[in-house]
Structure 1
Amino acid sequence: MDKNSILLYLSDYEPVKDFSLEEKGMLFDAIFEYASTGSTNNLPPVVLLAFKFFRMHIDENNKKWNEIKTKRIEAGSKGGKQKAASAKQNLANLANAKDAKQSQANLAVNVNDNVNVNDTLSLTLSHLVESANESVSESESVNEREEANKVFNPQSIKEQLLSDETWKESVCMQSTLGVSFISMLPDQLDKFIAYIVSIGEERSISNISDAKRRFTYWWQNHGRKEVQDENKQVYTVPN
């Protein structure tokens, strides 16, 4: 593997901070073994459950990294072809300018306002630069329009999250509520989506990985407190 790093989140520590040192050591070893070789040794059930959560992050980040690497290679290839084409065109322009200069010398016509061939060449090169800048600006505008047209689809996000069994296992473990959190998850997802819409950050969630990360943050800072407040019991002293 040519990628020599992994990305961990501070929120990953919350579910495993109560592990014993031995369990943390096994988890640590499993994470680096998987990131290096793509496999891991047999793990106790509780460590395996935690490892699945880290493995999901590693796989997602590796996928993003590979996509970026592929795009850079493609961009480099296109850039090399474009540079070659530009160099070829520049040589042709220089040759044309040289021919024009020779023709002007052969004519030997006395004209008060002589046009300098170098000025012609400068104008030609300036035109080429302006055309290239216009192409870049147009490309950037298209990318901005495509980015702005991304649609936030709450129903699709909710369905994808609820169909991801590995993710559901991990959020149950993070919730500290155990298996009972499974039945609460649809309602909590609705509240999470409503929160994102209320603060106007729909466009901050452009893919399912963004949704998973934002939901984890929302639950730790908002959802968990709301559930705890709802579960508080009020005791009254009888007369």
Structure 2
Amino acid sequence: MNRKSFLLYLDTLDVIQELTDAQIGKLFRAIVSYQHGLDDPDNREYEELLSGDSLLKIAFTPFRSQFDRDFLKYKEVCEKRANAGRKGGIAKASKAPAGPVNPVPAKPVKAFGDIIQELNSDQLWVEQMCRQSGIGAKTFLGILPEQINKFFDYISATGQEDTVLTTSDAKKRFFWWWKNQGIESIKPTNNGRKTNISTKPDIQPSKPAEKDYSGSF
């Protein structure tokens, strides 16, 4: 696969504050080595760069987890594009007469139930969301399973299933949904008590550009 770049996330980079300049140099050498060998199961060069330093091994762990998830997403995108190209070639070869086409809605690669289970069991993602929730990790952790279910209710009610085809899609969409809608339901009222505004998702997105979401996951 001809990848040209990879991402480093700000919350993951916080760990370098605990390292010396020499350790940071070894860490980034290990990151580069790991990226070059992501599609090589026998790549072990990065392990040699981390050997003998337990702190470096711990610091490298969140980078490796994120790289693996990003690489899986990259392969999924490549596969989708390859499938689309093959379908396009078949359509041209058939020389079928032009006519009205009824689009077939995209179906999730995984069932929503399976994605929900994976989100709840992904400890690293849960920790990252707790840190970025804006309401305190302990409070957010207690309501996260309920909020995940509300998020999928919202996706289904607004007909946006084609934006959540994989677990990786769900993580990005959930981050956007929480920051723009989910958090609003638990903000304090005038008397200082927290309340759930509604248990039903809005039927229409609150902003026209909703699908132009962004997030750290």
With normalisation by structure 2, the TM-score equals: 0.54
Aligned position for 1:163: 121
Larger radius of gyration: 1
Shift of 1:22: 6.5
| Structure 2 residue matching 1:51: 3-state secondary structure | helix
Counterpart of 1:57, as a letter, is: R
Alignment match of 1:175 (pick from 133, 140, 152): 133
Report the counterpart of residue 134 of structure 1 in structure 2: 96
- For 1:93-139, what per-residue CA distance to the aligned partner results, in whole angstroms no more than 9, with x for missing partners? xxxxxxxxxxxxxxxxxxxxxxxxxxxxxxxxxxxx9x83208x69x
Asked if residue 219 in structure 1 is aligned to residue 181 in structure 2, the reply is no
> How many matched pairs?
174
Matched, 1:191 2:150: yes
**Within 5 Å, which residues of 2 pair with 1:104-143?**
132-134=94-96
Is 2:168 aligned against 1:206?
A: no
More helix by share: 1
Q: 1:63 to 1:159 in 2, by over 3 A?
A: same
More displaced stretch, 58-67 vs 17-26: 17-26
| Aligned mates of 2:6, 2:185 — CA distance in 1 | 30
**Contact 2:73–2:168 (8 Å) recurs in 1:** no
Higher relative contact order (CA 8 A, sep 6+): 1
Distance in 2, Cα, partners of 1:48 & 1:233: 46
Judge conservation of contact 1:196–1:202 (CA < 8 Å) in 2: yes
Q: Give the CA RMSD over aligned residues.
A: 4.6
Partner of 1:37: 37
Note closer, same or farther for the CA distance 1:18–1:184 as it changes in structure 2 (3 Å cut): same
Distance 2:180 2:30 in 1: 29
Counterpart pick for 1:234 among 176, 181, 192: 192
Deviation at 1:210, TM superposition (A): 1.3
Partner of 1:114: none
Give me the whole-angstrom Cα distance separating, in 2, the residues matched to 1:28 and 1:58.
18
1:134 alignment partner, SS class: coil
Specify the SS of the correspondent of 2:96: helix
Any stretches of 5+ residues in structure 2 without a counterpart?
A: 39-43, 194-217
Of all paired residues, the percent bearing the same amino acid is: 25
Check conservation: 1:31, 1:55, Cα contact below 8 A.
no
